[in-house]
Structure 1
C-alpha cells in the first residue's frame, strides 16, 4: 500500500482529533481551514478510510479514526523524540515531554524539577496536562502523555505505578477561624463546621468517600468543586473549611490558611509515577522521570 501523505497531514489529523473543530485545529497548526480540510482529505484518500464524521454542528472520529488516533500520536511522538535525540546530548537538544498530573502533584512535584530540567535542556518543551486522577490514567494509556503523576486507585491493566510520596489529608481554615488554634480535628468535628467539598468527578473525593463510609456528615457541603486548588480559594474567601492532601499546602506555611491534622480515621494516599507497562520512555522523558524520582527520595 503506497502512503501518499506526509507529517503535515498527520499533524493536521492530530489537531482535528484533539479539538473536534476545523477552526480551532487550523489555528493550532497555523494554516487556513481550507488547507486543513485538504490535508484531512488527502490522508483519508491515502488510507482508504473515512477518519471523521462531519456535520454542520460537530466533528467526531469514526471507528477507524479512533483506532488510528493513538497510533498517529505515538508515531509523531516517536519521531519528535528521535529528532530530539540526534545531535548534541545537552543544550542543543529539542523536543517535547508531556506529563499528565493531578493538580496537587503538579504544584508539589513539578516547578523545581522543571526548572532543573530546563537548565540542562533549555530547548526542550514540557507540557503539563493537569487534570483528575482518572484523566491522568487515561492520558497515559492512550499515549497523550509520556507518563503521569497521580495517586493509587483501582488497579488497571498495563499500567505500572511507582510510589513516591505517602501523605495524609489535612484540614485547612483561615487564620481567623476558631479552629485555627487547634492542632488536630476528627472527621466528625470537621463535619460540624461549614465546609467546602470536592465533587464526585474528583479522584480525591472517591478516595475520601471510601475511607469515610462510616461517617455521616451532619450537613452538606457549602460548595463543591473539582480541583483542590479551587477548593483552597473557597477557604481563603471564608466559605468554610476544607480537607485537602497535605502536599497541596506550602511547606513553609500558607500566608492566610492554617493546617490541622485530620484523625479518626487518618486518611492517606500514595502519590507516584504512572506509566504503561513495557513501554520504554524516550530519553528526554526518562530524564525528567528520574529527576522527579531523585527529588523525592527520602
Structure 2
C-alpha cells in the first residue's frame, strides 16, 4: 500500500470534526483536496472509511477502527520525526575519531584545540591506533570516522582527501647524499634503509615508490615509530624515507632532511562507512578537521632542505 502521511492526517482531521471544510482549514487544504485525499486513502485500503451525504459525514466500521488507533500512531511518528529533526541542530555531544600515530601527533592536536575553541560543547575523543586498527574501528562503527593514509580501494568506505604529504629522505649529515639539495629516488639504489613497518599506512607507498624508480635497497630495520627510525639513522644503521609530517617543525637536530624527487606523496584522508553517513554532530567535526588541516602550514609548503650539524661527543 502506498499510504501517505498527509492522507492519514487528513483522515484524522475529518474523523475528529466530521466535516470536510473544517478539516481542510485544519490541515491547510481546500475541500476538494480533502475529498480527493480521502478517496485516495480508501482506494489504497480497498474499503470505505466514511459515509458521506449532503448533511453529514459518518465513520464506517473500518473508519472507526482506523480512527481509534490513528492518534497514538501519528503522535509517535510525529515525535520520532521531531526527534530526528532535532539531531540536525544538535550542538552538544561526543565525537569519536580514530587516527594513525603520525597523524595523531602532527595533525590532530591542532584540530582538537580548534574544536575546543570553536565548539566547546563538543567532546572530541581521539583514538590513537595503527592504520589497520583505525580502519577496523571505522568499519565496526566504534568511531564516527577515521583519519588515515590512503588505504587500498575498498567498496565499504567513503574517503575524502584533506592533505597531500610528500616523502623525504632522512640521513646523517656525513652521508654522501647529504650534500645534495634534493635526492632522486633512483639514487637510493643499494642503500641500507630503516623504514616504518607494514602496520604503517605509508610503508606500502614507500615500497611502491622505491620499486617504481629502480631503487633496490636492504631494509636493515623495520620500526613502529618515526622517532625510533630517527635514532637508528643517527646511530649509522641506515638512512630512512619518511612522510614530511613525521619530521618535527623545527627539524631534526642531528640529522639532515632532503626532498625526494620526483615528488611522491601520500594522501591523508578522512574515511567513514560508505552506507552509514556520520551523525550531524560528527559531520561538523569532519568539516572542522578538513578546514583546520587546509589552513595548517603543512598543507601550504613542502619540506625544505634542513642542514644539521652532528652533536659533538
Q: TM-score range by the shorter chain?
A: 0.5 to 0.7
Shift of 1:217: 5.4
TM-score by length of 2: 0.58
Aligned twin of 1:183: 181
Aligned pairs for 1:213-292 within 5 A:
213-214=211-212, 219-263=217-261, 265-292=262-289
CA RMSD of aligned residues (A): 3.1
Rounded Cα–Cα distance in structure 2 between residues aligned with 1:218 and 1:207: 15
Shift of 1:118: 1.7
Counterpart of 1:143 (choices 127, 141, 144) is 141
Counterpart of 1:134 (choices 132, 136, 142) is 132
Unaligned runs of at least 5 residues, structure 2: 1-83, 295-299, 301-313
Rounded Cα–Cα distance in structure 1 between residues aligned with 2:242 and 2:272: 25
Rounded Cα–Cα distance in structure 2 between residues aligned with 1:140 and 1:283: 17
TM-score by length of 1: 0.60
1:208-266 superposed Cα distances (whole Å, 9 cap, x missing partner): 22333355655522211134343234334543321011122234433333211123x54
Aligned twin of 2:165: 167
Comparing 209-218 with 246-255, greater Cα deviation is found at 209-218
Shift of 1:137: 1.9
* Pair 152,88 (structure 1): closer, same or farther in 2 beyond 3 Å: closer
Larger Rg: 1 or 2?
2
* Pair 290,215 (structure 1): closer, same or farther in 2 beyond 3 Å: closer
Q: Is the 8 A contact 2:192 2:237 kept in 1?
A: yes
Unaligned runs of at least 5 residues, structure 1: 1-81
Rounded Cα–Cα distance in structure 1 between residues aligned with 2:132 and 2:175: 34
